[in-house]
Structure formats: structure tokens, C-alpha cells
Amino acid sequence: MNIAIVIAHKGGRRIERLTVGESPLRIGRGWGSDILLDDKFVNENHIELSVDDGELYVRDLSTRNGTLLDGKRIDSSPQKVRFGQVLGIGDSQVQIQNVQASVAPASFRSAWFLLMERFGSTKSILSLTAVALFLQALVAWMGSSQEYGLGDALVGVGTLLVAITIAALTLGLVSKLLRNEASLKSHWLVIVIALIANVLIDFLLQIVRFNLQMPVLSDSIAMLAMGAIASLFIVGFLSYATYLSPSKRWLWSVSVVGLFVIFSYSEDWLKEDHQRWTSYSSSEGLTLPPALLFRSTTSVTDYFDASDELFGFTPGELADSDN
């Protein structure tokens, strides 16, 4: 029986192609093993693979640290193994692949895959998730106009965790359909990084907004910045979920963001002048503590001299609208 095994150890991966015949095949640290593992927690002869009646079997050779099959401990009696199952041996993971199956098409090169390689370990993903949850709770605490207690924070974090899970599962399902690979970890990572980026950029935009005091300009800046960030992360999702080429990923991503922007602003853009009319002032509504004000100040006289322009209304604005 021809198989391939994928061995992952400390972030590195190698693939071996081998044939399991009438005599069993041994994997271990000893020089006599058919597959050598450089792992100090692995016995000289650790597991044995054998074929019986067209089925593949594995057994643990009474080792010091034991063997896990998909997380469950096995003993020295042969256990049936299916393709794709993972054997935990010492610090290494061994996965058995079917060489009859065709491999997935080549992925386009993308920085997102590098990101996954760098932060893809469970530990990194958990840490980043914790950072994202903490930042979101911090922002909720700062942004609340009422008291914000531990209970509120826990509810917020819990809700967000559920939302991340649902989003990752949904994207995983889409990936499974489009690419036959759920990439749950990758999606989780992108979502978490997107949340962190969102908090940081939003905070920066708030400082810009507070210092500018020009709501229309601030709205445009925020729309552009958030649109760019959203496009970037949608490209990330598309990298993991499809085989689209980089240019097409960007095309799709920018189109989706553009449509969203048009959809959410169209009602405002289509308003007629009399529908925009308001008896309220149109000032920057956001206020931050004095420590976050960096702009220059003026004297009372200079301020009012510069405010003369407020009295200048165009003939269009003053047009008699009686009908």
C-alpha cells in the first residue's frame, strides 16, 4: 500500500512517501527505524504501521510517552487508521495521506500565508484573540457614557467571542465549498487581527476627528481608512478561501467594499436640500479628554475674526424656496 506521511515538528514539516507491504513499517528515533524522527520524546521504535486486508493499522510499541490517534491514546494492539487522521508522537504530529488522491491546486503567493506561518500556531492565535478581546473591552469601557463594570465587560467579551466563532465557521464553510479546505485557524487569525487593527485605527481616527473638528472631512477620512482596511482583510479571506489570482482578489474585495459604501451612503447622497435642512448645529460630536488635544489654540479675537466667513452664504443657499 502506497502512502505519504506528513511529519510536523516544531513548526517544520516534511513529507515522506513510502510503501507498507507485508512486513510492518516502524517509525521512531532509532537508526533502525523506517522513518526517523528527531524528537527526544520519541522512543527508539515508537509506532508500527501494518496493512491487513487492504486496511492500514497502527500500534504503539509500549513507549514512554505513548501515542495519540486524533487525540486519543492507543495501546499496543493494532488500531485502524484512516487517511487524514493525526498521530501524536512525542512533540511531533504524523498525518497519513492517500497518494491516490489528487493534491489541491497551487496557491498564489500571498503575504497572508506568511502571516499564517508566523502566527498560525495555536498559542499565537490564542494570544492574539486575548489581545483583541481585551482591546474591545477597553474601547467599550472608554466609550461608554455610563458606568461600565466587570459584568458589562464580560458580556461584551462573551458576545464578541461568539461572533468571532460564528464568523470563522461561516468563512470556513465557504472555504470548504470553494477550496475544499476549511482553513478555520486562518480565518480565525484574520478575524482577530482585523479586530485589533479596527480598534487601533478607530482610536487614531477619533484623535484625528477630535483635533480636526471638521465632521465632513473626518467622515471622509474615516470612510477611506476603514474602506482600505476592510479591503485588505477581505483579500486575506479570499486568499484562504479561494484560488483567485491576486488581482482578482483585490477586484472582488474593492467591489464588495465599494458596494457596501454606496449602499450605506446612498440614502444620504440622494437627499434633496429641504430634506437635509436641520435646526441643529452640525459640529463634531465627538469629545475626548484634554490630554488628547494636540492642535494649536487661538485668542478670542482671532477666533471671531476668522469666523466672519460663517456669515457668507451663497445665493443658492439663500434661494427663495417658495413654491
Question: Rounded CA gap, 23 and 220, in Å?
Answer: 71
Helix (H) or strand (E) holding 300: helix 300-306
Which residue, 122 or 301, is less far from another protein as judged by CB? Answer: 301
Instruction: Compute the least distance from the CB of residue 109 to another protein, in Å.
Output: 43
Among 52, 87, 48, smallest CA distance to 70 is for 87
Instruction: Compute the least distance from the CB of residue 187 to another protein, in Å.
Output: 32
Instruction: Compute the least distance from the CB of residue 206 to another protein, in Å.
Output: 10
Instruction: Compute the least distance from the CB of residue 147 to another protein, in Å.
Output: 5
Grid coordinates given for 296: 494649536
Please enumerate in sequence order all residues whose Cβ is within 8 A of that of 284, keeping only pairs 6 or more positions apart, or say none.
209, 210, 212, 213, 214, 215, 218
Instruction: Compute the least distance from the CB of residue 197 to another protein, in Å.
Output: 21
DSSP state of 111: H
Which residue, 32 or 289, is less far from another protein as judged by CB? Answer: 289
Which residue, 245 or 275, is less far from another protein as judged by CB? Answer: 275
Q: Sheet containing 72-74: give its strands across.
A: 12-19, 2-9, 92-98, 86-89, 67-69, 72-74
Q: Could you count the other beta carbons within 10 Å of the beta carbon of residue 95?
A: 16
Work out whether strand 72-74 and strand 79-81 pair parallel, antiparallel, or are unpaired. unpaired
Question: Rounded CA gap, 123 and 8, in Å?
Answer: 16
Which residue, 103 or 270, is less far from another protein as judged by CB? Answer: 270
Instruction: Compute the least distance from the CB of residue 156 to another protein, in Å.
Output: 15
**Interface residues toward another protein, by CB under 8 A:** 141-148, 213, 273-274, 276-285, 287-291, 293, 295-301, 303-304, 306-311, 313, 317-322
Question: Rounded CA gap, 61 and 43, in Å?
Answer: 9
Instruction: Compute the least distance from the CB of residue 254 to another protein, in Å.
Output: 34
Residues 256, 234 contacting (CB under 8 angstroms): yes
Question: For residues 143, 147, 149 and 151, what is the CA-based torsion angle, rounded to 10 degrees?
Answer: -90
Which residue, 72 or 295, is less far from another protein as judged by CB? Answer: 295
